[in-house]
Chain A
Amino acid sequence: MKIAIVSACSAGIASTYMAAESLELAAKKKGHTVYAETQGTIGIENAISLKDAQLADIVIIARDIKIQGMERFKGRKIIEVGVAEAIRKADLIIERAEKEVIGK
């Protein structure tokens, strides 16, 4: 499964990256391919291209603030969670993503 992740927290200094890393770890543990973009104070890193965005089976948005470039994901299945939730419950969120895609 291809999972696209975008995270952004209010300060953009630490939580954004913890959320991205948590989700990435949880997804890789289950053998998924992951694209994880962070939108923080240092700008956008590991930016997900339109092509990769459209190839994603599911998009996980972990945010406390508005995400830039949501139009890339038009037509994709999207799960939205809070940043704190992403850090604490990454495994559960990935399970939820699997269910959405496989339709279990």
Chain B
Amino acid sequence: MLFLYQIQCKELDDLSMEIAQLLDPKLIRFQMESQEKWGAINELIDLLAAEKRVESSEKMLEAVRQREAEVSTGVGFGIAIPHGISDTVIQPSIAFGRSLKGIEYDSIDQKPVTLIFLLAIPKTQHNQDYLRTLAGLARMLVHKPVIEKLFTASTFEDVLEVFQSEKQR
């Protein structure tokens, strides 16, 4: 049991480092302006475009739209993980937004979204590593302590710390 626990620690430790490579202080908005799904997604795409993480905002939006058309990525608990795989993505990235007021998102449980992670994934054969990181991030987002800490985080370091400290669970 102890052995298993140690393996888990290592994985999560690596996870926070990997997330650090995809996230950036400039890709975080702790107080989202928009209170509506597509407005919020555009707000985060704008951050990606400003940091030259995506070439075309329109193409990125289209990729996210395609995914949302299948099933809403508002998965409940106030969390949304919109994502798009597109050749317009220059650098694999995560943009993170938080809304204390809540965003009307067409979520599966009909509740407003308070934490939104937009994942931009390049369309290459070599995106397996990023996809693995994003899978790890997604897994963390169902842990209540993670959600609670993200809600009170106020700096980039705080956000990374959330994924780092979860290893001590």
Measured CB to CB, the residues of A under 8 A from B are: 9-11, 13-18, 20-22, 25, 38, 40-42, 64, 83-84, 87-88, 90
- Residue contact A25 to B142, C-beta cutoff 8 Å: yes
| B67 pairs with A11, CB closer than 8 A | yes
Closest A residue, CB atoms, query B132: A42
Residues of B with C-beta under 8 A to A21: 138-140, 142-143
B138→A18 contact, CB < 8 A: yes
**Could you list 29 A-B pairs, sorted by A, with CB under 8 Å?**
A10-B70, A11-B67, A11-B83, A13-B83, A13-B85, A13-B119, A13-B121, A13-B134, A13-B138, A14-B134, A17-B136, A18-B139, A20-B139, A21-B138, A21-B143, A22-B142, A25-B142, A38-B135, A40-B131, A42-B135, A83-B71, A84-B71, A84-B108, A87-B75, A87-B76, A87-B108, A88-B75, A88-B108, A90-B142
Q: Which of B70, B109, B128, B141 contacts A11 (CB 8 A)?
A: B70
CB interface residues, B 112-159, toward A, < 8 Å: 119, 121, 128, 131-132, 134-143
A18 with B141, Cβ < 8 A, contacts A11-B83, A40-B135, A84-B108 known: yes
Residues of B within 8 A of A (CB): 67, 70-71, 73, 75-77, 81, 83, 85, 108-109, 119, 121, 128, 131-132, 134-143
CB contacts between A and B, total, < 8 Å: 72
- Counting from the closest, the 6 A-B pairs by CB-CB distance are A14-B138, A21-B139, A88-B76, A17-B135, A84-B108, A17-B138
Q: What is the CB-to-nearest-CB distance from B110 to chain A, in angstroms, rounded to a whole number?
A: 11
Majority SS at the chain B contact face: mixed
Measured CB to CB, the closest approach of chain A to B113, in angstroms, equals 14
- A21 closest partner in B (C-beta): B139
Chain A neighbourhood of B128, CB < 8 A:
42
Given the complex, which residues of A lie within 8 Å of B108, measured CB to CB? Answer: 84, 87-88
Taking the nearest CB of chain B, how far is it from the CB of A58, in angstroms?
Answer: 21
Cα of A20 to Cα of B85 in the assembled complex, Å: 22
With both beta carbons as reference points, the residue of chain B lying nearest to A64 in the complex is identified as B71
Given contacts A15-B138, A21-B139, contact A41 B131 (CB under 8 A): yes
A84 touches B131 (CB 8 A): no
Q: In the complex, what residues of B have CB within 8 A of residue A14's CB?
A: 73, 75, 81, 83, 119, 134-135, 137-138
Interface centre among B121, B131, B143 (most CB of A within 10 A): B131
A84 touches B76 (CB 8 A): yes
Give, as a whole number of angstroms, the nearest-CB distance from A87 to chain B.
5
